Structure 1
Amino acid sequence: MAAQWAGMETVAFCEIDPFCQRVLHKHWPEVPIFPDIRLLTKEVLERAGISGIDIVAGGYPCQPYSLTGERRGEEDDRALWSYMFDIVSELRSPWVVGENVIGHVSLGLDSVLSDLESIGYTAQPFIIPACSVGARHQRYRVFTVAHNDSQRMERGIKQQILWQPDISVRQISKSFQDAERRFDSHKSRLCRSLHGIPGGVDRVRSLGNTVMPQQIYPVLAAITEIERLLDCS
């Protein structure tokens, strides 16, 4: 959703959860979904007619790094950063965006940055809480933004680029607040996390894994603007 706001076209999804797959297919029926990051390769994508990918973005599982979990890092069976790094290494797209929980800062983030830098990317983490874009909860998220087209950058943008919240960001934040108010006015008295209510458990689990699109929108909008400036240089 945030990618659409930023003027980007999504050409593929990688999602293993059946409920989340159905949600993606409902909103983007023409975009193929690859179910397992461990089996996803450049060859698999090319066989599906997908090439020339400009940005690889993904939220690898947070459980290995979450402050509420055992924090086993890469020793956790659910840790999938190494597989995301494999596809990044194969594709060498100009941009990479990774997302995870705040606990990733103290466990594992240094390895992610080191991995990206080892194959020529310049990487920078950003912490953006949901409350900074109008939500009523904190939901801190760490976004790792990496770029590897250094020669183009050097001959392109010479001046300092400063991102400032423009009218579109403020409008998106306001729309989010309006949506929350509408949701509150129609809340059910039943707790949506109660087991036994059809569809409720899958929905709550997926909500727990989500990122507010308003959080990542500034990152994607900045990438779009940088690309525009580079193309004009």
Structure 2
Amino acid sequence: MRTIEKLTHLSLFTGIGGIDLAAEWAGFETIGQCEWGDYATKVLEKHWPAIPKWKDVRSLTGDNFYERTGMRTVDIISGGFPCQPYSIAGKQRGKDDDRYLWPEMLRVVQEIKPTWVLGENVVGILRLGIEKILSELESIGYQGGVFQIPACSVGAAHKRDRVFIISYAIGKRWDGLEQEHGIRCPDIDISNAFEAWNNAEHLSLDFYGAISNPSSGKKRNDNGLSEGMDRLECIGNAVVPQQVYPILKSIAEIELNSRRKTE
């Protein structure tokens, strides 16, 4: 029996890597990261030094992704696309905000064609953009749903609601890839992922793992993020890894189980 191939992850709008850390815990290998911020990029360079990185999502294409990674696609693309267009702390201009970069994430998904897409944003997106986002994903062959998960549900001392958009590639979209590159999409109903999440046990915040300040040398915090960040913006934008881990773990289990059945 041949070895089951590794699970792969491309991270967009990576920040300091909260989702990437949770993806590692779940068994994914992050093979590319895209982050605009200079300080956040330094954090990523310390903890994921060998991973190809893009600064501007607008410069990431299917072609240069292949050139730098040797891969045509990945199992999952994640992205906490900028929340300012949807945040109650801002003007809530939605798609009219010049930081509205969801279309760029959609373009990358369309070019790279992952099996799964995981989007993350603030609760305001439920009022200002979620229907359009789900409709646009469906238009390029992805079906999915939405979870609203507070950080306090995994033991954090703050509410920190986040919305996670999960979509799965409809099988017929993969016909061309299978013929051209031998990439096969397993036949799985996304409802399995939702059921797996509902049955998942919440993690406590003492789960091992952390991202620490690249310069402070301070001890790691119990939520997987550093005590000594010199930019509050990074903490404010970051996803608590335990918050998204059960979703990623459920997706990993679905993918691995599917591969075992096809062996």
In which range does the TM-score fall when normalised by the shorter chain? 0.7 to 0.9
Q: How far apart, CA to CA, are the structure 1 residues paired with 2:26 and 2:241?
A: 11
Tell me, yes or no, if structure 1 residue 165 matches structure 2 residue 197.
no
Q: How far apart, CA to CA, are the structure 2 residues paired with 1:150 and 1:32?
A: 29
Q: How far apart, CA to CA, are the structure 1 residues paired with 2:171 and 2:163?
A: 23
- Return the match for 2:250 from 211, 222, 226: 222
Moved >3 Å (runs of 4+): 149-154, 159-162, 172-176, 178-181
What does 1:15-26 correspond to in 2, within 5 Å?
A: 15-26=35-46
What does 1:112-151 correspond to in 2, within 5 Å?
A: 112-150=133-171
What does 1:26-105 correspond to in 2, within 5 Å?
A: 26-51=46-71, 52-105=73-126
Q: How far apart, CA to CA, are the structure 2 residues paired with 1:179 and 1:68?
A: 26
- CA separation of 1:106/1:230 partners in 2, compared to 1, >3 Å: closer, same or farther? same
Tell me, yes or no, if structure 1 residue 232 matches structure 2 residue 252.
no
- CA separation of 1:77/1:212 partners in 2, compared to 1, >3 Å: closer, same or farther? same
Unpaired segments ≥5 residues, structure 2: 1-20, 173-184, 209-219
Contact 2:33 2:54 in 1 (8 A): yes
- CA separation of 1:43/1:160 partners in 2, compared to 1, >3 Å: closer, same or farther? closer
- CA separation of 1:50/1:58 partners in 2, compared to 1, >3 Å: closer, same or farther? farther
**Comparing 222-231 with 77-86, which one deviates more in the overlay?**
222-231
Root-mean-square deviation (Å): 2.5
2:232 maps to 204
Q: How far apart, CA to CA, are the structure 2 residues paired with 1:50 and 1:68?
A: 41
**How many Å apart are 1:165 and its aligned residue?**
2.9
Partner of 2:120: helix, strand, or coil?
Answer: strand
1:195 maps to none
Q: Which has the larger radius of gyration?
A: 1
Residues paired across the two proteins, number: 212
- CA separation of 1:18/1:160 partners in 2, compared to 1, >3 Å: closer, same or farther? closer
Identity of aligned residues (%): 41
Q: Deviations over 1:28-74 (max 9, x none)?
A: 11111100001111011112134131111000000000011100011
Contact 2:205 2:222 in 1 (8 A): no
Q: How far apart, CA to CA, are the structure 2 residues paired with 1:26 and 1:115?
A: 35
More helix by percentage: 1
Contact 2:52 2:69 in 1 (8 A): no
